[in-house]
Structure 1
Amino acid sequence: MAAENIDDVVEGLAGIVREAVDAGDRIGYFAALYRQVTVEIRSAIHNGQFDDGARMDRFDTLFGNRYFDAYDAWRRDRSGPRCWREMFGLLDDADTVIVQHLILGVNAHINLDLAIAAARTGPGEDIQALRHDFLLINDILAGVVLAVQDSLDAVSPLLSLLDRVGGRTDERILDFSVRQSREEAWHNAVLLAGQNEQERAATIERLDVRATALARLIARPGGLVRPALELIRGTESHDVPAVITRLGNAMERPSARQATA
C-alpha cells in the first residue's frame, strides 16, 4: 500500500488493525498505537498547531509509507529492513509480552524511519525549518503515551514490575523509547539531509544495524528484567483481538494520569 496524504495513512493503519483483530494477529498492537498517534497529529494539523501544516502532512505521509513498505515486504517474502524483520519475526513468539511488541515497533519506526522521512521532507538546509514542528510532535506523543499506559495497565496488570527491576516506571520505558530516540533521529535527519546518495545509503545502513541491535536487546533482555517479564506474561491478557481493541480505543478513555496531573 502507498499513502498519498495523512488521511491515507490513518485509513491504511485502520485496515491493518481491522485485519489483525479478525486474525488475532499481534501485528495489530503497534498498528493500533501508531494509528492513534497519526490521528492526533492530523488533528494538530487541522487545528493549526504546526508552523506548516501542509509540510507536516507530507512528512507524516513519507513516515507512514516507510511502515507500509516494511509491512508489505514482510508479508510478501519476509524481506525489508532488518530492524523491522526483528519486530515482525517475534509476532508469533509466545514469550514476548505486549509492551515488548510496542517498543519493538517504536524502535524500528523511530530509530530508522523517522530520520529518513524528515530528511526527505526537508532536504539540504530546508531541514532546519522543520525543527519546531518536529519537536512539537513530542508533546503529542506524550499525551498518547499516557492514554496507552492506562490501557496497558488494564491488559497487563503486573507491568509495573518493570519499575522495580529497571529503576524506572513502565511509562518511562515507553517515553524513553520515543523521546530520546527522537532526539537522536533529529541529529540523523540533519546528517542525511546534507549527504549525497552514496553517503545517505551508508548512514541508513548504519541506522538499520543499530536499530536491529536494540531490537534484540528489547526482545531478549538480561538481568532481573527477564524473570519480571515471565511474571508479566503469566498475568497479562492473551486475548489478542481484545488487546488490540483496548489499545486502539485508548485515546477515547479518560486518562487517570491526566486527571490527576
Structure 2
Amino acid sequence: MAAENIDDVVDGLAGIVREAGRAGDRVGYFAALYRQVTVEVRTAIHGGLFDDGARMDRFDTHFGNRYFEAYDAWRRDRSGPRCWRKAFGLLDDADTVIVQHLILGVNAHINLDLAIAAARTSPGEAIHALRRDFLLINDILARVALAVQDSVGALSPLLSLLDQVGARTDERILDFSVRRSREEAWYNAVLLAGQNEQEREATIERLDIRAAVLARLVARPGGLVRPALQLIRSTESDDVPAVITHLDNAVE
C-alpha cells in the first residue's frame, strides 16, 4: 500500500489493525500504537500547531509509507530493512512480551524511518526550517508511546518487575531510549538531507544495522531482565485480538 496523504496513512493503519484483530496477529500491537500517533499528528495539523501544516502532512506521509513498505516487504517475501525484519520476525514468538513488540516497532520507526522521512520532506538546506516541527512530531510520538506503554499494565500485571531490575524507567525501556533516539534522529535527518544518493545509501545502511543491533538487545536482553520478562509473559493475556483492541483505545 502507498499513502498519498495523512488521511491515507490513518486509513492504512486502521486496516492493518482491523485485519490483525480478525487474524489474531501481533502485528496489530505496534500498528495500534502508530495509528494513534498519526491521529494525534493529524489533529495537531488541523489545529495549526505546526509552522507548516502542509509540510507536516507530507512528512507524515513519507513516514507512514516507510512502515507500509516494510510491512508489505515482510508479508511478500520476508524482506525489508534489517530492523523491521527483527521486529516482524518475533510476531509469532510466544515468549515475547507485549511491551517488547511495541518497542521493537518504535525502534525501527524512530532509529531508521524518522530521519529518512524528514530528509525526503526537506532536502538540502530546507531541513533546518523543519527543526521545530520535527521536534513537535517527535514529542507526539513519545507521548503516545508512553501512554500506550502505561496501558499495557492492565494486560501485564507484573510489568513493574522491569522497574525493579532497572530496565524500565521513564522513557527508557530495556536497552532502548526514546529520548536519545529522537535526538539522534534529528542529527541523522540533517546528515541525510545534505548527502548525495550514494552517501545517503551508505548512511541508511548504517542506521539500519544499528537499529537491528538495538532490536536484538530489546528482543533478547541479558542479566535479570530475561527472567523478569519470563514472569511477565506468564501473566499476560494470550487473547491477541483483545490486546489489540485495548492498545488501540489507549489514547482515545
TM range, smaller chain: over 0.9
Deviations 1:24-61 (A, max 9, x none): 00000000000000000000000000000000000000
Q: Counterpart in 1 of 2:183?
A: 183
Q: Counterpart in 1 of 2:115?
A: 115
Assess if the C-alpha contact under 8 Å between 1:59 and 1:117 holds in 2: yes
Q: Distance in 2 between matches of 1:91 and 1:230?
A: 16
Q: Counterpart in 1 of 2:220?
A: 220
Deviations 1:239-259 (A, max 9, x none): 10000000000112xxxxxxx
For residues 34-183 of structure 1, what are the structure 2 equivalents within 5 Å?
34-166=34-166, 168-169=168-169, 172-173=172-173, 177-183=177-183
Q: Distance in 2 between matches of 1:189 and 1:45?
A: 21
Residues 167/98 of structure 1: CA separation in 2 closer, same or farther (3 Å cut) = closer
Q: Does 1:2 align with 2:2?
A: yes
Q: Distance in 2 between matches of 1:171 and 1:123?
A: 30
Deviations 1:138-189 (A, max 9, x none): 3323432343133201111111110110264366429x63222111010000
Q: Distance in 1 between matches of 2:223 and 2:153?
A: 23
Structural RMSD (CA): 1.5
Q: Counterpart in 2 of 1:255?
A: none
Amino acid at match of 2:173: I
Q: Distance in 2 between matches of 1:113 and 1:139?
A: 16
SS in 2 for 1:250: coil
TM (normalized to structure 2)? Answer: 0.96
Residues 89/141 of structure 1: CA separation in 2 closer, same or farther (3 Å cut) = same
Assess if the C-alpha contact under 8 Å between 1:160 and 1:169 holds in 2: no
Q: Which has the higher helix share?
A: 1
Amino acid at match of 2:203: T
Shift of residue 229 of structure 1? Answer: 0.2
Q: Distance in 2 between matches of 1:230 and 1:30?
A: 21
Deviations 1:67-122 (A, max 9, x none): 00000000001111111111101000011000000000001111111110000111
Assess if the C-alpha contact under 8 Å between 1:21 and 1:245 holds in 2: yes
SS in 2 for 1:166: coil
Assess if the C-alpha contact under 8 Å between 2:171 and 2:178 holds in 1: no
Assess if the C-alpha contact under 8 Å between 2:156 and 2:235 holds in 1: yes
- Identical aligned pairs, as a percentage? 86
Q: Distance in 2 between matches of 1:49 and 1:243?
A: 32
Q: Distance in 2 between matches of 1:105 and 1:143?
A: 15
Residues 40/148 of structure 1: CA separation in 2 closer, same or farther (3 Å cut) = same
Residues 146/66 of structure 1: CA separation in 2 closer, same or farther (3 Å cut) = closer
Q: Counterpart in 2 of 1:208?
A: 208
TM (normalized to structure 1)? Answer: 0.93
For residues 3-18 of structure 1, what are the structure 2 equivalents within 5 Å?
3-18=3-18
Q: Distance in 2 between matches of 1:230 and 1:149?
A: 18
Amino acid at match of 2:96: T
Assess if the C-alpha contact under 8 Å between 1:145 and 1:171 holds in 2: no
Q: Counterpart in 2 of 1:258?
A: none
Q: Counterpart in 2 of 1:256?
A: none
SS in 1 for 2:165: helix
Aligned residues: 252
Shift of residue 215 of structure 1? Answer: 0.6
Residues 146/189 of structure 1: CA separation in 2 closer, same or farther (3 Å cut) = closer
Structure 1 stretches (4+) deviating beyond 6 angstroms?
Answer: none
